[in-house]
Amino acid sequence: MCLLGPGVVFIVRNSFDFASAISAAIESMGFINTVLLGTNLLYHRSALESAYGDIRFALQTAKSAANAEVLRNIKFLEKSTSFLFKGYTVFQSVVGTGYALTIPSLTLVHYTKTGQLPPLHGIFEADFFVFDYTTKFWLWVVIIVIGSFGMLCLISVLVIVSSFNWSLVHYLIGLFKMVHSRLSCLDDLTDQQSRQKELNEIVLLQELVYRCARTAENALNIFLLTQFGTCVVAICLTMMTLTLASNDRDLLIKMVLMLAYILFNIFVYSMLGQELISTSTSVADAAYGTRWYDWSLSEQRNVLFVVSRSQKMAALTTGKFFVVNRATFAATLQAAYSNFTILRQMLDSR
C-alpha cells in the first residue's frame, strides 16, 4: 500500500508527462508481481513443501542404490542448481543495485566535479512522499537511503521466492534425466531378479516425479499467467518509454535495466518449461531403446507402464491456457512488439 497507492496518484497527477507516467506504471506492475509471487508461495506452501520432501527422498534413495552414471547425474544436478542460484542472485543484485544506485551515483559524481546539483530524482519514478525532497540535498540523501532499503527488500523477496520456484522445476528436470539414465542402464543387468527390482524402482520414481510435476504446475500456473501477461504489457510500455524519453538519460537507464530484468525472468521460465517437456517425453525413448523384447512378461509390463505414462508430457502452463516453452517466449515478445507498434501509431496520429 505504501508503494502502490502513491504510485497511482503519481500516474494520474503526471498524466500529461507520458514517459514518467508509463515508468511509474511499470514500477507499479513490478510491485504487484512481487506481491503475487509471495502470496502464491504462501498459498501453496504445504503442497510445495511436500513436493520438495518427495524430491529429497528420491535423491537419497538414488544415492543409496544407484550406479556410477546416476551418481554422476546427481552430483551434476546439485552443482548446477548451486551455480544457477548464485548466478540468478548475482543478476538480481546487479540489476537491482543498478536500478537503485546508478542515478544517485551519477548525481553525486556530477555534484563533486562541478559543485552544482543536477535535477534530483528518487530511486522510484513515483513520488512516495508528501513533501518535496528534491529541493534539499541532504534530505534527498536520506530519501535515497530509505528507497535503497525498500529496493533491497524487494530484491530479497524476488530472489528467495523465484529461486524456490525455478529450482523446484530444475530438480524435476534432473529427476527425469535420472529416470532416463537408469532405463538406459537396464541392459547391463543380466540377472532377471536385479533387473526386475530396478524396473520396480524406476516405475515408483517416475510416478513420484510426475506427482511433483503436477504439484509444481498447479502451484505456478496462475502466477505464470500473470507473469507472462504483465510482461507483455511491461515490455510494450518500456519500449514506449525508450522511444519517448530519448533525451532523459536517467529514465533511459532505468528502463533498460527494467527491460533486461523482464526479459531474463520470462526467458528462464520458458527454457525450464521447454527442458521439462523434453526430459519427461524422452523417458519413453529410453524405455523403448532397451532389449525389452528379451525380458519376461512382468518386466515388459513395467516397461509398458513407463512408456504409457511418459507419453503424457510434464509441463508448466500459463493458467492452463498455454504450455510454457521456447515458443511461448517468442510469442510473448511478438505480442509485446505488436502492441507497441499499435500504440506508437496511435500516439503519432495525434
Per-residue pLDDT of the chain (350 residues; tens, 9 = 90+): 666 666 666 666 655 566 667 777 777 777 788 888 888 888 888 888 888 888 888 888 777 766 677 788 888 888 888 888 888 888 888 887 887 777 788 778 877 887 777 777 767 766 555 566 667 777 778 878 877 887 788 888 888 888 888 888 999 998 998 888 888 888 887 788 888 888 888 888 889 999 989 888 888 888 888 888 888 888 887 887 777 766 767 777 777 888 888 888 888 889 999 999 999 888 888 888 888 888 888 888 888 888 888 888 888 888 888 888 888 888 888 888 888 888 778 777 76
Q: Identify the pLDDT of residue 130.
A: 56
Q: Identify the pLDDT of residue 149.
A: 82
Q: Identify the pLDDT of residue 350.
A: 64
Query: Helix H segments across the chain?
Result: 4-13, 18-43, 45-65, 68-114, 137-184, 192-244, 249-288, 297-310, 326-349
Q: Identify the pLDDT of residue 6.
A: 64
Rounded Cα distance between 12 and 20, Å, is 11
Rounded Cα distance between 1 and 319, Å, is 26
SS3 296: coil
Q: Identify the pLDDT of residue 126.
A: 61
Rounded Cα distance between 218 and 350, Å, is 45
Element containing residue 138 per DSSP (H, E): helix 137-184
SS3 323: strand
Which pTM value belongs to this model?
0.83
Q: Identify the pLDDT of residue 197.
A: 86
Rounded Cα distance between 48 and 55, Å, is 11
Rounded Cα distance between 127 and 146, Å, is 13
- DSSP 8-state assignment for residue 115: S
Q: Identify the pLDDT of residue 182.
A: 85
Q: Identify the pLDDT of residue 10.
A: 65
Q: Identify the pLDDT of residue 275.
A: 92
